[in-house]
Structure 1
Amino acid sequence: MLINAQLYLIIFFTQSLMRLFQTHIDIVDDFDQDLIEQLLVLAKKHDFMIFEDRKFADIGNTVKHQYGNGIYRIASWSDITNAHGVPGEGIITGLKEVGLPLGRGLLLLAEMSSKGALTYGEYTTQTIEMARRNQDFVMGFITQRCINEHPDEDFIAMSPGIGLDVTGDGLGQQYRTPRQVIVESGCDLIIVGRGIYGKGRDVQAEGRRYQEAGWSAYQERISQ
């Protein structure tokens, strides 16, 4: 089986500091372990980490089994995954039981890029507090801004909804440019999907374009 790039989202940040390949493994029609084996070979060859955008959102016992078992066995191959804070801190505990012994990391969804998202206010505040109590496993956030507030905090801020050409998609997604995300909002990584693999796009050319835009924004930020 060959990996179909149109089924995946790609994260670009700088030219060398960190590269992630983001998957939505449950939308692959012909999933099997051969795909995972190919993906792991590519990750080693091209030096990138794998981020399964699972967005777990259930009680601790349920997510523990969703993460470690089932047909996908996400924890066995994905370096990073993510979860909503809605169920409470038990969701972190359940995922941690599986992921921490394997050296995995968790992102919490503090804010989303879609129009009308309810990830703000008290939800965001409580999600951040849960992360602070679990820094041995929670490595950062899906967010629209840098969340670090204290001297000892070093959470990674990954921002979705990145676009150089459009501002929306008709289904609620809202796009910002790499500069808006990295320079103005202080985020660390940009998450790029359809801007790279969308219909009629040259994947390699667009990948380089977004990588260069992200790198340029990062250089501007550190020069300030």
Structure 2
Amino acid sequence: MSPEEAWGERWISAASSTARAYMQTAASKQSLVCLAADKPTMAELTELIDAVGPHIAALKTHVDLVNDWTPEAWKIFCGRAKAMDLLIFEDRKFADIGGISQKQMGGIYAIGAWSDLVTAHLISGPDIVDGLQAGWVDYGRSGGVLLLAQMSSRGNLLVPTYTDEVVRLGIEHTGVFGFIGNGSRPEELRALRLKVGSEKMIWTPGVNLKTGDGAMGQRYGDPTEAIVAGSDCVIVGSGIHKAEDPALAAKAYATASWQGLLERNG
């Protein structure tokens, strides 16, 4: 299916090159899945993306969780991901002022050199988005910021008034790719989509084919329901990388997510 058939007017009007890259890959692979690749070694990460790469559209990393990380190994790994047309999404959840956030895009991990997307809280104000964008410019690159508007963990403090303010400020900023929503609560997600409108993306963790409560405060909703409710990408971790057959699991999530888009499109 072509991107225009899959995304309609959103594809035609999309101004963000990062958003267009995602929409094109999602349509090509018929998958609205981002893999949360929470593995502690380079070998495990490489083995995982080699297995599931054909069935996912993006790769979410926590670079500082990799025990044997080196710049050389990471460069090879990112090249491997790019060869599979995967957007690389560093889930750093930046929260500092703009100037510090810009510097944090550099440093030992040089996040601005290889990431296409990063997450951020807006608690310090909208200048954080400018700082992160400047961090990409420092490497001659561009990227997009996903603002945390909702979270799926129990007891989180992202109250509705905070969510509303994040959306209000975020939809006006060209550096904002979109928002993180709560995939475990379709009704909250549906309300978020109404506030966000159609221009910006909503990506959602908190989904699993086995719904319910998980460990350490996590909650899970159904991936198809999340897409129907307004998500543009479901972020899946343990449901794929802890499966007996990760490739088969990734394919199942891809099918579920794509079914959601078809249902949403009517």
Asked whether the two chains share a fold, i.e. TM above 0.5, the reply is yes
Contact 1:108 1:127 in 2 (8 A): yes
CA deviations over 1:51-71 (Å, ceiling 9, x no partner): 00110011222111111x211
In 2: Cα distance, 1:90 partner to 1:7 partner? 38
CA deviations over 1:188-207 (Å, ceiling 9, x no partner): 11000000012x52111111
Paired residue total: 214
Question: Aligned ranges for residues 75-224 of structure 1 at < 5 Å?
Answer: 75-99=112-136, 102-134=141-173, 136-144=174-182, 145=189, 147-149=192-194, 153-183=198-228, 185-198=229-242, 201-223=244-266
Q: Which moved more, 1:21-30 or 1:141-150?
A: 141-150
How far the C-alpha of 1:90 sits from its partner, in A, is 2.0
How far the C-alpha of 1:43 sits from its partner, in A, is 2.3
For the residue of structure 2 that corresponds to 1:115, the secondary structure is coil
Question: What amino acid maps onto 1:173 in structure 2?
Answer: Q
Contact 1:195 1:206 in 2 (8 A): yes
Identity %: 33
In 1: Cα distance, 2:120 partner to 2:88 partner? 16
How far the C-alpha of 1:133 sits from its partner, in A, is 2.7
How far the C-alpha of 1:213 sits from its partner, in A, is 1.1
In 2: Cα distance, 1:210 partner to 1:150 partner? 27
- Where does structure 2 lack aligned partners over 5 or more consecutive residues? 1-40, 183-188
Give the helix-richer structure, 1 or 2: 2
Distance 1:196 1:4, change over 3 A: same
Question: What amino acid maps onto 1:109 in structure 2?
Answer: L
Distance 1:217 1:148, change over 3 A: closer
- Structure 1 length-normalised TM: 0.86
In 1: Cα distance, 2:196 partner to 2:255 partner? 30
- Structure 2 length-normalised TM: 0.73
How far the C-alpha of 1:96 sits from its partner, in A, is 2.1
Contact 1:40 1:77 in 2 (8 A): yes
In 2: Cα distance, 1:7 partner to 1:175 partner? 26
Distance 1:150 1:53, change over 3 A: closer
